[in-house]
Amino acid sequence: MTAYDVERGDGVHPGQPVKVDRYTAGARVNHWITATCLVLLALSGLALFHPSLFFLTGLFGGGQTTRWIHPWIGVVLFFSFAGLFVRFWRANLWASEDGTWMARLADVLGGREERLPEIGKYNAGQKVVFWSMSVLIVILIASGILIWDQYFAAYSTVETKRFAVLIHALGAVAIICVWIVHVYAAIWVRGTIGAMTRGQVTGGWAWRHHRKWLRELVGGGKKA
Amino acid sequence: MTNSWTDIKNTDLVIIMGGNAAEAHPCGFKWVTEAKANRGAKLIVVDPRFTRSAAVADFYAPIRQGTDIAFLLGVINYCVQNDKVQWEYTRNFTNASYIVKEGFDYNDGLFTGYDEARRDYNRSTWDYELGEDGFVKSDIDHPRSVWNLLKKHVSAYTPEMVERICGTPKDKFLKVAQMISECSTPTKTMTSMYALGWTQHSKGSQNIRAMAMLQLILGNIGVRGGGMNALRGHSNIQGLTDIGLMSNLIPGYLNIPTEKETTFDQYMSTRGFKPMRPNQMSYWQNYKKFFVSFLKSMWSDAATPENNFAFDYLPKLDVPAYDVLRVFELMHEGKMNGYFCQGFNPLLSFPNRKKLTTALSKLKFLVVMDPLQTETARFWENHGEFNDVNSGSIQTEVIELPTTCFAEDEGSLTNSGRWLQWHWAGGSPPGENKHDTWIMAQIYLRLKKLYQQEGGAFAEPILKLDWRYKDPGVPSPHELAKELNGSVLADVPDPNDPTKMLLQKGKQVVSFAALRDDGTTACACWIYSGCYNEAGNNMARRDNSDPADLGTFGKWSWSWPVNRRILYNRASADLNGKPWDPTRKLLEWNGTTWTGDDVPDIGPTMKPTEVGPFIMNPEGSARLFTRGMLRDGPFPAHYEPFEAPIANVMAPKIRGNPVARVFKGDMEQFGEAKDFPYAATSYRLTEHFHFWTKHSQRNAAMQPEFFVEISEQLAAEKNVKSGGWVRVWSKRGSVKAKAVVTKRIQPLTCDGKTVHIVGIPLHWGFIGETKKGFGPNSLTPYVGDANIETPEYKAFLVDIESIPGPVA
Amino acid sequence: MVSFILPPAPTTDVKTTYGQEDLIKRSASNISPPARQLTPVAKLIDVSKCIGCKACEVACLEWNDMRTPVGVNTGVYDNPHDLTPDMFTTMRFTEWVNPESKNLEWLIRKDGCMHCADPGCLKACPAPGAIVQYSNGIVDFDHDKCIGCGYCVKGCPFNIPRISQVDNKAYKCTLCSDRVAVGQGPACAKACPTQAIVFGTKDEMKKHAEGRIKDLQSRGFKNAGLYDPPGVGGTHVMYVLHHNDQPQIYANLPNNPRISPVVELWKGATKYAGLAAMAAFAAIGVIHHLVTGPNKVSEEEERKAEELAGKGKTS
């Protein structure tokens, strides 16, 4: 039986050190498109969010371009993220050890992983990021379309748009915060970034952070 | 207008009936708002529709179209019954006390002398009884005094009868009557503002008379803030009538001779205008001076005392008038083969469009002179259902001569208040457009040349026409205006002092007072005399000072006659010459002469106790009883429109106006209420000016598409949705339109029957920037007013149905 | 004196255009108080005098050199049907039966920018200087700076600005600031044949309105009054209404307009709290890293992995 969190392309290469395939090239490209979009969206969105950040419109060639390009990037992000969602949603389903992991958050933050249960491909924190992103992106695209006046002005009332623009702002703040957590975690947990650049992590990394997943891979749970 | 636009600000009560001033005359309407804002004046609107004027009125009363006479005679009856009469005015300034000939009567809707076969009256009894001194007998208490006859005549028009005929609820009628009757005091005045809502009926002249009579018994004629104020529809339509573009007139309301008046003496014999009361001025006694001066202006040296000033050169009328209906009738009969159409769009303007198209198709040639493209010029072009003609079968040759717009030429425009306002060209004409004067001059010069080369029957009137313009090809507006003013042709010595000259050859005459009947003066239009005299172009004056602050503006432009701003202004003062209302003083007799803000409408030294204020009438007084001067009665009487939803309740056997002319074949084209149950009316909208502004993109955007207006009740009955499509048809044609379902039109109850009203505005055609549409003239009947033949556009019958919209 | 001709627009302040020194508010910017104070101006629209002739609409199109498309009739006189980027003002016609008198009243209201003292559009605008308010009260759009985001539409309590599909910029009535700057009144007021639209200083207009209201009250409109809604700090376009107690009967003129609380929240607390939240998250990361240091894999963990991998099949 295949473990729920072993994804296509995951695999182990014995050696010194052991190399573990974590993300396929497709997943990585998909991720970085999404990541780029998110950063551009944050920059263009923030430019229109607070007057002190309006200068950021300069990155896009001015206010008019920023205004029209932002929603199109949003559309790209939405579909790009949809790809990530299809790839990753099963591995991000909640597991029994995730509750324990969450309960021992102090140990997580203190780096005392020996006190944590063995974790599959994603820990509870990563899963929270994943699901937060998923939900927020749906909220943002929906509220974004309501205020995308160039094409959709006629389809909702001004009052609806007022709520939409507020929700869009709040959602954007939330997703940027989630993104900060995501990026910081990747930096703090050394050896992580390679997973999204070369697609591989070391065996020790997998042992330390996702031992259950590693065991599953070694145990032949490898997907064809 | 008897008064001027600016004078309306002096009124206490404005009654808009037979018009829609706010809609059709928004700029002039400002003086109504001014009276309301500064004098606390009230505004009453009586109209079949709740109009834009009604939107700002103090009181609105509905009325069925074509029943205004019943309403107004009802108001007169109310005033008589409640003694709301300005008695001093009525007794002294009107013919109320004159005795009418024995034999005059009114029964069953007809006056004495009706001849059904001729559709005309023998009017011999419609006159005054003369005394042995030759003057009219006067005794207001006499049973046949005008006053007693009037009293009897209006007594039938009780509030109940008004409600029955007009559909105006009794309480609303009484409220209007009461408000109006308050203006019978010498210090309160009412102004009447009317337009085509009164004229475009088969009894249009009598509609206006009815109000004029009411205004007279209230003492509201000749005073500030009073008067009969006709709101003219085009900026220069007043000028058109003044200059005599009517087929039976020559300039200044002089008559074209009829074919029975073959000699000058014969013509003048009925134009003596001997005073009918002692001491009266009877100004038309000067007729000969104006007429001879006109002939001199036409033919100059060729008009001599020996040839009766070329009287023979004038055409003689074989019919009462070649009005538009007769012209198109003749065309329709194939008797008129060529048509010069100058600044007119008859295909959309005259009634029964089907007949018009047939008539135009029978022409050999049609010349259209217009600054804009007109439907008339394209009557032969197929535009689908909007102009469904078979172009191939039409042989008429159409020649278009593009002319200039008012803003592209110089000249004067005469406004409703008789002000001749000079204007200057604001731009150059586009393309090959030419001034009308250039075109007319070119045609004349070419005709003259042909006559010179080839001769022809009776060439003299053409060959000898006085045409001494600096550039004969383009008479200048100044030259023409000077001609209208008149000039001196020969020195006239002062009879009291032969060393002095009364008139000096070559000078402009100062006014028509200087005109003479011996051929020493020329004047093309006597009432315009004074507009361009030796003082210069008085029409170009732009001094807006108004010393009395009562809207006189005596130094702004020039007003005919002799710069008089309010006609009959002597009537603004009582019998002794004291103003009725000192706060609105217009003229005052200071014991030796008339003084005041306006040019007196009477000799400046004529004593108030002797000479009556209405100097144009040989009686010296105003007429409540018009003698035989109108064809359809010395008093107005209620007649239904030719197409009416109910029978005439006063005289059920009479259809329409009993003396209105109906051409053969047109009577059968009138619809019956059983087939066409709804009372239709036509009107203009403020967003457009006739058929011009549909060429202007911005106006077109303001009111883009042809529509008809109906009540919510009729819409429910006929399953019509607002904004949906309807078909409206009469016995003469059918139109498709959008439906505007509105509370502003309400069904009326007339003689126990529910009458639904269908409103049809008229600005759409098949060319221009607006959506293509129809005009009401596809539906209207071919009949006009009994006196002046203005077509009956305001009251006719239609049916209506909901239809699916055109497939896009 | 012909009394309906009001005193001309204040000419003491005449200058060919307004500049930065005339601004009292500027979108997405903090500015210092203006160097000079212009006299507050106002346009007064007397609905009771309006005959709905649309001369103001055409004058507006003419002055601003605009054309609006020829539309269709939809069963009402309201053409054009609504404000557009090419139509800064439009007449709204309402057929209202007065429940007291049972009489029909045809209420005709000229709709357009109200030039609020507290403009919601300006508050919502993210582009610095795209919306400005001069010290005479005129709220104006600077199209060079407008980015076309449509936030002004959401900020406006009167639903006035419209975004052009052609150049993606917001448009609305300028109160003819270009005319007012040189001492002229707005084009609509100039064209109005009944002086239902008048223009002058705000004080003059209020005084003029008092006279009009007294006149209306004398004609039985006991609730006649001036519409100068305090919820937006008053407006520089005011109405005289015969029924000032129920402005909503005039084609939904807001009863008590104010900038929507949603917009206030969005442009107020959210703006600051949002930035703070993001900053806080970033700061916590930095501090955490400083405190705990990096989370590294040890050699032993690598060996354990090799050991585990060794048990399995080699690939």
Q: What is the pLDDT of residues B687-720, one digit of tens each?
A: 999 999 999 999 999 999 999 999 999 999 999 9
Of B308-317, B373-382, B393-402, B498-507, the one with minimum mean pLDDT is B498-507
Q: What pLDDT is attached to residue C6?
A: 45
**Closest chain B residue to C48, measured at CA:** B56
- If you search the block for the tokens 């003002």, which residue do you land on? C89
Measured in whole angstroms, the distance separating CA B482 from the mean position of its chain's CA atoms is 26
For residue C85, which residues of chain A lie inside 8 Å, CB to CB? Answer: none
CATH of the domain at B66: 3.40.228.10
Residue B280 belongs to some domain of the structure: no
Cβ distance of C73 and B36 shorter than 8 Å = no
Q: Which of B26, B34, B724 sits opposite C4 (nearest CB)?
A: B34
DSSP C211-278: HHHHHHHHTT-TT-EEE--GGGT-BSEEEEETTTT-GGGTTS--SS----HHHHHIIIIIHHHHHHHH
- In chain B, the number of structural domains is 2
Whether C contacts A, i.e. 3 or more CB pairs less than 8 A apart, is: yes
User: For an interface test with C, which of A41, A118, A145, A166 has the most C Cβ atoms less than 10 Å from its Cβ?
Assistant: A166
Residue B15 belongs to some domain of the structure: yes
Is residue B16 within 8 A of residue B57, CB to CB? The reply is: yes
CA C188 to CA C211: how far, in whole Å? Answer: 22
User: For an interface test with C, which of B687, B699, B702, B736 has the most C Cβ atoms less than 10 Å from its Cβ?
Assistant: B702
Our CA-based measurement puts residue B699 at a distance from the nearest CA of chain C, in whole angstroms, of 7
The one catalytic residue among A31, A168, A182, A210: A182
Coil, strand, or helix at residue B620?
A: strand
**Closest chain A residue to C278, measured at CA:** A177
- Residue B686: other Cβ atoms inside 10 A: 23
Q: What is the pLDDT of residues C173-228, one digit of tens each?
A: 999 999 999 989 999 999 999 999 999 999 999 999 999 999 999 999 999 999 99
Q: What is the pLDDT of residues B623-676, one digit of tens each?
A: 999 999 999 999 999 999 999 999 999 999 999 999 999 998 899 999 999 999
Is residue B247 within 8 A of residue B322, CB to CB? The reply is: yes
Q: Quick check: B171 contacting C, CB < 8 Å?
A: no
Cβ distance of C75 and B741 shorter than 8 Å = yes
In this predicted structure, the answer to whether residue A1 has a pLDDT above a threshold of 50 is no
B: neighbours with 3+ CB pairs under 8 Å?
C
For residue C278, which residues of chain A lie inside 8 Å, CB to CB? Answer: 173, 176-177, 180
> In this structure, what is the dihedral angle of CA atoms B280, B284, B286, B290, given to the nearest 10 degrees?
160
For residue C150, which residues of chain A lie inside 8 Å, CB to CB? Answer: 147, 149, 153, 161
Instruction: Tell whether omega for the bond before C99 is within 30 degrees of 0, i.e. cis.
Output: no
**Closest chain A residue to C312, measured at CA:** A218
Is residue B727 within 8 A of residue B743, CB to CB? The reply is: no
Q: What value does the mean pLDDT take over residues B141-164?
A: 98
Percent of chain B with pLDDT over 90: 97
Instruction: Examine the residue annotation and report whether A182 is marked as an active-site residue of this protein.
Output: yes
**Closest chain A residue to C310, measured at CA:** A14
Instruction: Find the largest Cα–Cα distance for chain C.
Output: 110
Six-digit token string for B513: 């007072």
In this predicted structure, the answer to whether residue C10 has a pLDDT above a threshold of 70 is no
Whether A contacts B, i.e. 3 or more CB pairs less than 8 A apart, is: no
Q: What pLDDT is attached to residue C7?
A: 46
Coil, strand, or helix at residue B348?
A: helix
Is residue A105 within 8 A of residue A181, CB to CB? The reply is: no
With both helix axes pointing from N to C terminus, report the angle between C271-292 and A158-188 in degrees, rounded to the nearest 10: 10
Average model confidence (pLDDT) across chain C: 92
Cβ distance of C278 and A206 shorter than 8 Å = no
Is residue B214 within 8 A of residue B177, CB to CB? The reply is: no
Domains, chain C: 20-259 (3.30.70.20), 265-311 (no CATH)
Residue B470 belongs to some domain of the structure: no
Counting one residue from chain B and one from chain C, the pairs whose CB atoms sit within 8 A come to: 134
Q: What is the pLDDT of residues C247-259, one digit of tens each?
A: 999 999 999 999 9
Measured in whole angstroms, the distance separating CA B710 from the mean position of its chain's CA atoms is 29
- If you search the block for the tokens 């020039």, which residue do you land on? B558
Q: What pLDDT is attached to residue A2?
A: 54
CA A67 to CA B341: how far, in whole Å? Answer: 59
Q: What is the domain range of residue B686? A: 667-803
**Closest chain B residue to C59, measured at CA:** B698
Q: Which of A161, A180, A189 sits opposite C282 (nearest CB)?
A: A180
Residue B443 belongs to some domain of the structure: no
Measured in whole angstroms, the distance separating CA C74 from the mean position of its chain's CA atoms is 28
Element (H, E) at B595: strand B594-596
Instruction: Find the largest Cα–Cα distance for chain A.
Output: 63
**Nearest in space to B774 (alpha carbons), one of B759, B762, B782:** B762
Q: Which of C1, C61, C73 sits opposite B705 (nearest CB)?
A: C73
Model's pTM, two decimal places?
A: 0.93
> In this structure, what is the dihedral angle of CA atoms B56, B61, B65, B67, given to the nearest 10 degrees?
-140
CA B547 to CA C1: how far, in whole Å? Answer: 10
**Nearest in space to C116 (alpha carbons), one of C260, C265, C229:** C229
Cβ distance of C153 and A159 shorter than 8 Å = no
Our CA-based measurement puts residue B23 at a distance from the nearest CA of chain C, in whole angstroms, of 7
Q: What is the pLDDT of residues B8-43, one digit of tens each?
A: 999 999 999 999 999 999 999 999 999 999 999 999
C: neighbours with 3+ CB pairs under 8 Å?
A, B
Q: Which of C48, C51, C79 sits opposite B704 (nearest CB)?
A: C79
Q: What is the pLDDT of residues B587-634, one digit of tens each?
A: 999 999 999 999 999 999 999 999 999 999 999 999 999 999 999 999
For residue C269, which residues of chain A lie inside 8 Å, CB to CB? Answer: none
Specify the DSSP class assigned to residue B428.
P
CATH of the domain at B692: 2.40.40.20
For residue A64, which residues of chain C lie inside 8 Å, CB to CB? Answer: 147-148, 168
Cβ distance of C159 and A158 shorter than 8 Å = yes
For residue B56, which residues of chain C lie inside 8 Å, CB to CB? Answer: 48-51, 194
**How would residue A223 be classed by pLDDT, with cut points 50, 70 and 90?**
very low
Domain termination site, one of B190, B214, B233: B233
In this predicted structure, the answer to whether residue C13 has a pLDDT above a threshold of 60 is no
Coil, strand, or helix at residue B86?
A: coil
Q: What pLDDT is attached to residue B339?
A: 97
Q: What value does the mean pLDDT take over residues B790-802?
A: 97
Domain termination site, one of B204, B233, B262: B233
CA B609 to CA B3: how far, in whole Å? Answer: 24
Our CA-based measurement puts residue C199 at a distance from the nearest CA of chain A, in whole angstroms, of 30
Our CA-based measurement puts residue C125 at a distance from the nearest CA of chain A, in whole angstroms, of 9
User: For an interface test with C, which of B14, B33, B713 has the most C Cβ atoms less than 10 Å from its Cβ?
Assistant: B33
Q: Is the dihedral of CA B213, B218, B220, B223 positive or negative?
A: positive
Q: What is the pLDDT of residues B209-232, one digit of tens each?
A: 999 999 999 999 999 999 999 999
Residue B366 belongs to some domain of the structure: no
Q: Quick check: C278 contacting A, CB < 8 Å?
A: yes
- Taking CA atoms, C8 is separated from A116, B515, C12, C14, in Å, by 82, 48, 11, 12
Between CA C189 and CA C200, with CA C195 as vertex, the angle to 5 degrees is: 55
Cβ distance of B738 and C54 shorter than 8 Å = no
Whether C contacts B, i.e. 3 or more CB pairs less than 8 A apart, is: yes
Cβ distance of C108 and B55 shorter than 8 Å = yes
**How would residue A222 be classed by pLDDT, with cut points 50, 70 and 90?**
very low
**How would residue B808 be classed by pLDDT, with cut points 50, 70 and 90?**
low
In this predicted structure, the answer to whether residue C312 has a pLDDT above a threshold of 90 is no
Six-digit token string for B112: 């004495």
Residue B161 belongs to some domain of the structure: yes
Percent of chain C with pLDDT over 90: 86
Residue B276 belongs to some domain of the structure: no
**How would residue C15 be classed by pLDDT, with cut points 50, 70 and 90?**
low
The residues that bridge with C132 in the sheet, in sequence order, are: C26, C140
For residue B550, which residues of chain C lie inside 8 Å, CB to CB? Answer: none
CA B751 to CA C198: how far, in whole Å? Answer: 47
Cβ distance of C274 and A57 shorter than 8 Å = no
Our CA-based measurement puts residue B37 at a distance from the nearest CA of chain C, in whole angstroms, of 7
Q: What value does the mean pLDDT take over residues A98-116?
A: 92
- Taking CA atoms, B418 is separated from B2, B117, B237, in Å, by 9, 41, 10
Chain C, window 150-169: residues with a beta carbon less than 8 angstroms from a chain A beta carbon: 150-151, 153-154, 156, 159, 163, 165, 168
Domain termination site, one of B178, B200, B233: B233
Instruction: Tell whether omega for the bond before B561 is within 30 degrees of 0, i.e. cis.
Output: yes
Residue B160 belongs to some domain of the structure: yes
Six-digit token string for A3: 């473990």
Cβ distance of C53 and B52 shorter than 8 Å = yes
User: For an interface test with C, which of A38, A173, A214 has the most C Cβ atoms less than 10 Å from its Cβ?
Assistant: A173
Our CA-based measurement puts residue C219 at a distance from the nearest CA of chain B, in whole angstroms, of 7
For residue A219, which residues of chain C lie inside 8 Å, CB to CB? Answer: 312
Cβ distance of C147 and A67 shorter than 8 Å = yes
**How would residue A17 be classed by pLDDT, with cut points 50, 70 and 90?**
confident
Q: Quick check: B802 contacting C, CB < 8 Å?
A: no
- Taking CA atoms, B241 is separated from B45, B250, B287, B614, B726, in Å, by 28, 9, 18, 21, 39
Encode B782-803 in three state secondary structure: CCECCCCCCECCCCEEEEEEEE
Q: What pLDDT is attached to residue C315?
A: 42
